[in-house]
Structure 1
C-alpha cells in the first residue's frame, strides 16, 4: 500500500455526511495529510449557517496535526467528497491554500493529490506561485 492509499483510506473513514442539527452539517468533505514526521492526520468539513463557523477538511486536518503534535509541515495531502479525486478535483480552496502557507512557508512543497487513479499531484507552490508571505521573509 503506497502513502496515497494510506491517506485515502484514513480520510475515507471520516466520510459520513451528517446533519449535526438544523444549523450544522459535517463530514461531507474529508481530508488526510502526512506530516513531516510521517504521521497521518485527518479532518472533515464542518459548516454552520452563521458562515463564520465553516472549516474545510484540509484546515481541520492541519489543525488536528498542530494541536496533537505541534507540527506545521505537511508532506502530502488528499481531500475529497464521496470518491477519491479525479482529473483536477481535490484541490484546496483559496482560504485553505493561504492557511497551509501561513502554517509553514515550507508547505509550498506539499504534494496535493488531484487525480488519485493516476497518482497525479501538484504542489502548493504551483497553486500559489507568487505567495505574498515570501516578501516578508
Structure 2
C-alpha cells in the first residue's frame, strides 16, 4: 500500500474520534504483513487517564484479531507540524513493532514526516530489560 493511501485512511479514521473534551481529532491506520489495515481514532473519557489514543486503538485492534506482524503506520491530526505520537503510544509501538518499522506522521496541510520506531523512541524499555534479571529484587 502506498504511503498516501495509508495517510488517507488515517485521515478518514480521525473523523470517528470521540473527543468531546479536547476536540482534538486523531486518526491512525496500521498495515499488517498480511495486507490488512486496522484503523484507530482517539477515544476520550471524562476520567482523562483512561482515554486511548488513535495509535493504540489501531494496534490493539490488530493484536486482538491475531495480527502480530506489521509493515507501517500512518497518523494524522490537525496540528501545525506533523503530529508526534505521545510517549505511551511510542512505548506500545516499541513493544509490537520492529525498531526499523516506518511510521508516517502528518497534519491536515499534508506535511509528512517519516520515521522509524527507533527514531520515535530511542533506547526504549523492552522485554530484554525484564529477561536480564535474575529474579531477585535489587537493593
1:75 to 46, 71, 78: 71
Higher strand share: 1
Larger radius of gyration: 2
Question: How far is 1:92 from its partner?
Answer: 1.4
> Normalising to structure 2: TM-score of the pair?
0.74
Matches of 1:114 and 1:16, distance apart in 2: 17
Q: Is the 8 A contact 1:10 1:32 kept in 2?
A: yes
Match in the other structure for 1:91: 84
Q: Which runs of 4+ in 1 moved over 6 A?
A: 23-27
Distance 1:118 1:12, change over 3 A: closer
- Structure 1 residue 48 corresponds to structure 2 residue 41: no
- Structure 1 residue 111 corresponds to structure 2 residue 102: yes
Match in the other structure for 1:3: 2
Matches of 2:18 and 2:32, distance apart in 1: 30
Matches of 1:26 and 1:71, distance apart in 2: 31
5+ residue gaps, structure 2, are 132-139
Matches of 1:115 and 1:29, distance apart in 2: 10
- Structure 1 residue 125 corresponds to structure 2 residue 118: yes
Matches of 2:16 and 2:36, distance apart in 1: 25
Match in the other structure for 2:136: none
Q: Is the 8 A contact 2:29 2:37 kept in 1?
A: yes
Aligned length: 128
Moved more, 39-48 or 115-124: 115-124
Q: How far does the alpha carbon of each residue in 1:33-59 deviate from its partner, in whole angstroms, 9 at most, with x for none? A: 111222111000011120132000000
RMSD between aligned residues? 3.0
5+ residue gaps, structure 1, are none
